Structure 1
Amino acid sequence: MKFVIAPDSFKGSMTAKEVAEAIAEGISKVFPAAEYELIPMADGGEGTVQSLVDATAGKLLTKEVTGPLAKKVTATYGLLGNGKTAVIEMAEASGIGYVDEQTKDPLKTTTYGTGELIIDALNHGVSSIILGIGGSATNDGGAGMAQAIGVSLLDAANHELSLGGGELNKLHHIDTTQIDKRLANTEILIASDVVNPLVGPNGASAVFGPQKGATPEMVKTLDSNLKHYASIIEQELGKSLAEFPGAGAAGGLGAGLLAFTQSKMAKGIDIVVEYSHLKERAKDADFVFTGEGGIDFQTKFGKTPYGVALATKKTAPNAPVIALAGNVGKKIADLYQKDAIDAIFATVSGAKSLKQAFEDGSKDIAQTAENIARLIAVIPKH
């Protein structure tokens, strides 16, 4: 019997690898001789680096870079087991975790450190980069990232712009002659489920600016600045990005990457499925176990358990997909569809505080998996 175990992390509690190991521990008490394929997963957000490193036997790297407030921070990213692909979470360099209520200011925060991580990955010999762009503290259209990789953003006096989205109204000319030449042969996959355009009422500034500290007046300024930035990009590089779906992700970092690198946007879960070789590894599976900290109707829209179900059903169509979650929310019936999730189980054993639930996570997951395995063992095959 073959079990494929491909969960996401239980955020705040356990990594995806730890969750997979706990599920395997529980099942193996009933089926000790079974084959187990543990594949830590993620959906492009927090935990993607660790999951892909674990899934491919890669390694973590650290680099001191420029944080969103232009102060040095230490960021971690991954080098996958193939040695040719880096996986970066922009939040490690430019994330909202580096600012607080007093210091957040989207007029000044910068993505420069994310660009520095891209260059460091190139220095390690990669030919492709997976870049998760959630959780930013920035609204600079990826301008800082662009400057870090060698793009010159110049004002009318031919001076380099200062960092931050508040400076983009001064942009007069873009010089790409000094951009790192290695980027021409480096594919960047932008892991994001955000479809917002760069500008306008659904754009980066209007939708995401307030959570980064933008006042209504700042939102107007930032949106106007990004419109100007987009117009210069279109005028000088021939790329129309103002309304491009996803260009507004991470304060417009999506637009910056599309403008200055060989990038394309993709759903995070699809990228992780591809690089973890989930479909291939699920062949001949008898059962697939997945899960994440919380499951509800929104899981259908790009979250790991649903993505795992869709992927594994393609190569193991007869293998039931069983999802475990610390919290089971509303409308989970929406997930019970043909070629999707077959059963969902909550793992928390009884009423307890969140702190206690986190502490008991591994034990509760293993116990739930064991109970499911015992049911499998007594149900005759049809």
Structure 2
Amino acid sequence: MRIVIAPDSFKGSASAVHVCDAIAAGWRDVRPDDELVLLPMADGGEGTLDAFLLAVPGSSRVHVEVVGPDGQEVEASWALLPPTPELPGGTGVVELAETSGLPLMTHPDPLGAHTLGFGQAIADALDRGVSRLLLAIGGSASTDGGTGALVALGASLLDADGDPLELGGGVLSDVARVDLSELPPLPSSGALVLSDVTNPLLGETGAAHVFGEQKGADAAQRAALDLALAHWARAAQDAGAAVDPSTSGAGAAGGTGFGLLAWGATLVSGASTIADAIGLDDALSGADLVITGEGRYDAQTDGGKAPAVVAERAGAAGVPMALVAGSIAVKPVGFADAVALAELAGDVQSAIDDPVRWLRRAGAVLAERAGRP
């Protein structure tokens, strides 16, 4: 049999690469002669770089030192995908989680955290002459509307005295003037923003109210950040940014989606774009089974997350599907088989404590069932 293994990461537990390897090891324990194709997936969050580096031959990791979300230096990286006739400078893949992600914070700072490092990594890719940018924006530590990234790229945010503002979402209500004229042009083939988040910038479903709590913001801070983002949006529009804060995805990554739209980037489905870039459709050709998964399979999965995209592609190719998830909250539709690590381990915490063990067992269980008449 030919098996394609294409899961997302199990967030906070195991990267997509480790998930792939563990499921594959379990499968080989039972069926060592089968052909396994490992394609770790992502949707624009943590693990996006690894997915590209593993799946795209000739890609390389470019190391860069940036200022992290709390102002401390961070040793980060971005991925350079090889040139093609259409993209002679190659493609730069920059992952916000690598440079400005929540795990980089020693303690939450909902008002002061920023995306400066993300912009610095983007600038490094531009300096190397990439023809296209893929900007993965999941996992943000901040609610700064993408202003830190724009400042790193050359934008100016000034207060009433004409002085540059400090970084972070908490000061955006003090923006008196925005100058976007020094932003560099987009690369020749543009910049695509990879995200599975469809929230607008403002309001009850916006960046501050929906995602602020996980970044440490209490109710009063979330309300203040929402007002600050609204002020920033008006100032950006006054400076010539043709972007509507109600745009789907503008609220992604604490409003970084809005900031990148103000630069001229385009928001796209992270999982679908990554599936195309790593050659998922080609891998499915002739496959007997595709295994996908994520940490928690629930009602939100069908909203464009990686397992849903893999399932859609597999269905179109007529390939049977199996699901591996840490926990399964809703009945999987369209899958020939499904395994929850929590059931194998006895409970969710046991599965989280030793994910590789239970992922390997899940791979073995699926292989055992596949071998039955």
TM-score norm. by structure 1 comes to: 0.84
Distance in 2, Cα, partners of 1:145 & 1:171: 16
Q: 1:218 and 1:294 mapped to 2: Cα distance?
A: 29
- One-letter amino acid of the structure 2 residue matched with residue 76 of structure 1: S
CA distance in 2 between partners of 1:367 and 1:60 (Å)? 32
1:223-265, Cα deviation, whole Å (9 max, x unpaired): 33322221222233151422222212222111110001x3111
**Given that residues 297 and 329 in structure 1 are in contact (C-alpha distance below 8 angstroms), is that contact kept between their aligned partners in structure 2?**
no
- How far did residue 192 of structure 1 move? 1.9
* C-alpha spacing 1:111/1:273, structure 2 compared with 1 (3 Å): same
Alignment-mate amino acid for residue 370 of structure 2 = I
Paired letter, 2:228: N
Displacement of 1:221 after TM fit? 3.4
CA contact (8 A) 2:144 2:170 kept: yes
CA deviations on 1:157-200 (whole Å, 9 max, x unpaired) are 4433222223333333333332224x253522222222222222
Q: What is the one-letter code of the residue matched to 1:258? A: L
Q: Is the 8 A contact 1:60 1:79 kept in 2?
A: yes
Pairing 1:282-301 to 2, within 5 Å after superposition? 282-301=284-303
Q: CA deviation at 1:310?
A: 0.6
Q: Which of structure 1's runs of 4+ aligned residues deviate more than 6 A?
A: none
- Indicate the residue corresponding to 2:179 in structure 1: 175
User: 1:289 deviation in Å?
Assistant: 1.8
CA distance in 2: counterparts of 1:353 and 1:239, whole angstroms: 46
Residue equivalent to 2:253: 250
- Are 1:199 and 1:243, in contact at CA under 8 Å, matched by a contact in 2? yes
Counterpart check, 1:225 vs 2:222 = no
CA distance in 1, matches of 2:77, 2:349: 28
Cα 1:269–1:232 shift into 2, 3 Å? same
Residues 323-378 of structure 1, C-alpha deviations (whole Å, 9 max, x = no match): 123x332222xx313xxx2221235645478467654x445444443443344334
Contact 1:12 1:358 in 2 (8 A): no
- Aligned position for 2:116: 112
- Matched with 1:125 is 129
Code of the residue aligned with 2:109 in structure 1: it is K
CA shift, 1:155, in A, is: 3.6
Q: 99, 104, 107: which one pairs with 2:105?
A: 99
2:367 aligned residue (370, 373, 379): 373
State the match for 1:267 in structure 2: 269
2:339 equivalent among 335, 338, 345: 345
**2:155 corresponding residue in structure 1:** 151
Aligned to 1:276: 278
In structure 2, distance between residues paired with 1:345 and 1:159: 57
Give the equivalent residue in structure 1 for 2:320. 320
Which sections of structure 1, spanning at least 5 residues, go unmatched?
Answer: none
Quote how far apart the aligned CAs of 1:282 are.
Answer: 0.8
Cα RMSD (Å):
2.8
CA contact (8 A) 1:89 1:133 kept: yes
- 1:137 correspondence with 2:137: no
| Residue type at the aligned position of 2:371 | A
Post-superposition CA distance 1:73-117 (Å, at most 9, x none): 22233333557222222132222233355x6141x2221111001
**Preserved CA contact (<8 Å) 1:278 1:312:** no
Match of 1:336 in 2: 333
> CA separation of 1:84/1:358 partners in 2, compared to 1, >3 Å: closer, same or farther?
farther
Which residue number in structure 1 is paired with residue 86 of structure 2? Answer: none
1:85 corresponding residue in structure 2: 91
- 8 Å CA contact 2:296–2:329 kept in 1: the answer is no
Which amino acid letter does the alignment assign opposite residue 263 of structure 1? A
Counterpart of 1:163 in 2: which secondary structure?
coil
SS of corresponding position for 1:87: strand
User: Which amino acid is 1:310 matched to?
Assistant: E
The alignment status of 1:208 with 2:191, answered yes or no, reads no
Q: Equivalent residues in 2 for 1:9-20 (5 A)? A: 9-20=9-20
Contact residue 243 and residue 261 of structure 2 kept, 8 A? no
Q: Report the 3-state secondary structure (helix = DSSP H, G, I; strand = E; otherwise coil) of the residue aligned with 1:299.
A: coil
